[in-house]
Structure 1
Amino acid sequence: MSFSFFKPSRPKTPQELARAIKDSLMALDTITVAEVKALDKALEEVEKNFVTMRLMLSGDGEAEPNVEQVLQLTIEICKEDVIALFIHKLPILGWEARKDLVHCWSILLRQKIDSIYCCLQYMENHLELLDFLVVCYDNKEIALNCGNMLRECIKLPSLAKYILESPSFELFFKYVELPNFDVASDAFSTFKDLLTKHSTAVSEFLTAHYDEFFEQYEKLLTSANYVTRRQSLKLLSEFLLEAPNSHIMKRYIVEVRHLKIMMMLLKDSSKNIQISAFHIFKVFVANPNKPRETKSYLGKKP
């Protein structure tokens, strides 16, 4: 007969887990970097709670998650303002904790309780959190984690629309050319999603901010960076030739400055860029209502 002096710990309820996560994240406020051991211990507690959260939300590989517990945890996380802590504490979390948080984030955003997406509603009431995630591209340690979380948010029309119209959107023109290739590539993936996931919101945004947007976009098309030129040219053809953006395209192809850029890209040393530029150039040529300036420029000898 075997005896155990320790009883196995009782699994936390969703309410207890949400409170434990909140307490462990808030405890990080009271820890200074000088107190290295105390900080390490506090971060370990956060990691332990995040592992428990991940198991409750997605199961352990053998048993499926309990649907009622998942919904209850989602409710409690919103009620306790844990989402704001998730985002604001990202810069000081460890690698494992950030990885678990990103995994849980996509699950939480999808939870629907009585016809309401609880976490979506929370984010709509705290839109400044989206700006915080965008600005985090400046921190290469957490940039990729924030990028993943942002792209999950961008799947939701109201959140994508907010980012498009926020002053923080302009930062993407800088982020896509950051010297760190991984961060720049991730920023471009987010930038692309913003301009392609929700055609109606994009059309409204481009209509309202046409001049400012294309002034910035022109810098990407003429960038000294080959990857930036190629990606931005390909993306331009994707959103410009979308049916809801037909009025934007008609406006774009009557401006000779855009034609000049396409003709310059036709001479690029990269065949890929030449081909992509040609697809857009054809639209300028096929336009039956070409302005006189465009006709004159097309008629010039190279």
Structure 2
Amino acid sequence: MSFSFFKPSRPKTPLEVVKATKVSLMALDIKTVVEVKALEKAMEEIEKNFVTMRCMLSGDGEVEPNADQVLQLATEVCKEDVLILLVHKLPILGWEARKDLVHCWSILLKQKVDSTYCCVQFIENHFELLDFLVVCYDNKEVALHCGIMLRECIKFPSLARYILESASFELFFKFVELPTFDVASDAFSTFKDLLTKHLTVVSEYLTAHYDEFFDLYEKLLTSSNYVTRRQSLKLLSEFLLEPPNSHIMKRYILEVRFLKVMMTLLKDSSKNIQISAFHIFKVFVANPNKPHEVKVILAKNHEKLLELLRNLSVGKGADDDQFEEEKELIMKEIERVSGLPNHDC
């Protein structure tokens, strides 16, 4: 009796994986792919190639990835322009393929070849890919996948800087209020990363675009949506009170319109919003160089403000003593300003 054994197929090289992936992604462009069967076949090939790529990048659970192969794969993905295809084909891929693509994307971006993040450098030469990913928040089917990919990009200062300074950034002020809660929340996570991950980049952006940014941000703080108001207020205190943004904060607390926004938020029906508003409001009041207009507003509204503050408390806890101490100092300052003669106000 003779036995025949199937010879195991030779594992693909990184170059072969990349070329096969490229061919399968480009197949979706061929005009002849009109038949359902042909489309299904193309999708199957893509899924199969993504699984192979994912195993090469992160191992299969039993075998660890080969570091040299991972670097070679990252290099070839850039050489063959596959990163462009990965982004542009995302909306027409199936769920599993998208999931694998996102997984591969995060690993590829972290690969350093000759002390350079080759995939990040590729994106720097194709910034339109970032614009495409931002706009995808308008597509419910892929919004969450694109969000993950964007947040991976934002880890790198050069890519975060581009998004902040691009026309696409303004879209986030719309996306954070989208009716689909999951998508709006994801957009806010990306928005938050853009404003908190790289303090120097953010400081430079806010300095150059102060008026347009805070005009848009004021709309978030006064939104009819409770979640938007609360998240935006919390985020404002996070980036505004960072040391690199001290010059931005000093400018912000000179403006009466922003003081009025905080005073309105102090009256919000939500205690959480009231307390967050207090932490920004107190900076307006404590400012030793308050402009005349700010003093006038505080003096005119001192009774209502004092009543609001008397009723405001964080409840029992470790922060309670400090909060009460700060509140007392702010109330004394409001009383002092209200007692000044009008010409001093």
Q: Could you tell me the TM-score, scaled by structure 1's length?
A: 0.98
Equivalent residue, structure 2, for 1:209? 209
Equivalent residue, structure 1, for 2:141? 141
Q: 1:216 to 1:172 in 2, by over 3 A?
A: same
Q: Percent identity?
A: 81
Equivalent residue, structure 2, for 1:27? 27
Q: Distance in 2 between matches of 1:208 and 1:103?
A: 35
Equivalent residue, structure 1, for 2:320? none
Segment of structure 1 superposing worse, 248-257 or 24-33: 24-33
Q: Is the 8 A contact 1:32 1:39 kept in 2?
A: no
The alpha-carbon deviation at position 90 of structure 1 amounts to 0.4
How many residues are treated as equivalent by the alignment?
302
The alpha-carbon deviation at position 277 of structure 1 amounts to 0.3
1:238-249 correspondence to structure 2 within 5 Å: 238-249=238-249
User: Per-residue CA shift, 1:165-220, capped at 9, x if unaligned?
Assistant: 00000000000000000000000000000000001110111011100000000000
Q: Distance in 2 between matches of 1:241 and 1:81?
A: 42
The alpha-carbon deviation at position 9 of structure 1 amounts to 1.9
Equivalent residue, structure 2, for 1:228? 228
1:158-177 correspondence to structure 2 within 5 Å: 158-177=158-177
Q: Distance in 1 between matches of 2:100 and 2:156?
A: 21
The alpha-carbon deviation at position 63 of structure 1 amounts to 1.2
Give the counterpart letter for 1:220 in structure 2: L
Q: Distance in 1 between matches of 2:126 and 2:187?
A: 22
Q: Distance in 1 between matches of 2:33 and 2:186?
A: 30
Give the counterpart letter for 1:270 in structure 2: S
Q: Distance in 2 between matches of 1:13 and 1:279?
A: 57
Q: Distance in 2 between matches of 1:184 and 1:32?
A: 38
Q: Distance in 1 between matches of 2:67 and 2:178?
A: 42
The alpha-carbon deviation at position 221 of structure 1 amounts to 0.2
The alpha-carbon deviation at position 4 of structure 1 amounts to 3.9
The alpha-carbon deviation at position 96 of structure 1 amounts to 0.4
User: Per-residue CA shift, 1:253-299, capped at 9, x if unaligned?
Assistant: 00000000000000000000001000000100100000011001011
Q: 1:2 to 1:158 in 2, by over 3 A?
A: farther
Q: Distance in 1 between matches of 2:33 and 2:283?
A: 58
Q: Is the 8 A contact 1:31 1:38 kept in 2?
A: no
The alpha-carbon deviation at position 5 of structure 1 amounts to 5.8
Q: Which runs of 5+ in 2 are unaligned?
A: 305-345
1:268-283 correspondence to structure 2 within 5 Å: 268-283=268-283
Equivalent residue, structure 2, for 1:98? 98
Q: Which secondary structure does the structure 2 equivalent of 1:299 belong to?
A: helix
The alpha-carbon deviation at position 8 of structure 1 amounts to 2.3
The alpha-carbon deviation at position 31 of structure 1 amounts to 5.2
Q: Could you tell me the TM-score, scaled by structure 2's length?
A: 0.86
Equivalent residue, structure 2, for 1:193? 193
- Larger C-alpha radius of gyration, 1 or 2? 2
Equivalent residue, structure 2, for 1:291? 291
Superposed CA RMSD in Å reads 1.2
The alpha-carbon deviation at position 62 of structure 1 amounts to 1.3
The alpha-carbon deviation at position 2 of structure 1 amounts to 7.1
The alpha-carbon deviation at position 6 of structure 1 amounts to 3.7
Q: Distance in 2 between matches of 1:271 and 1:43?
A: 51
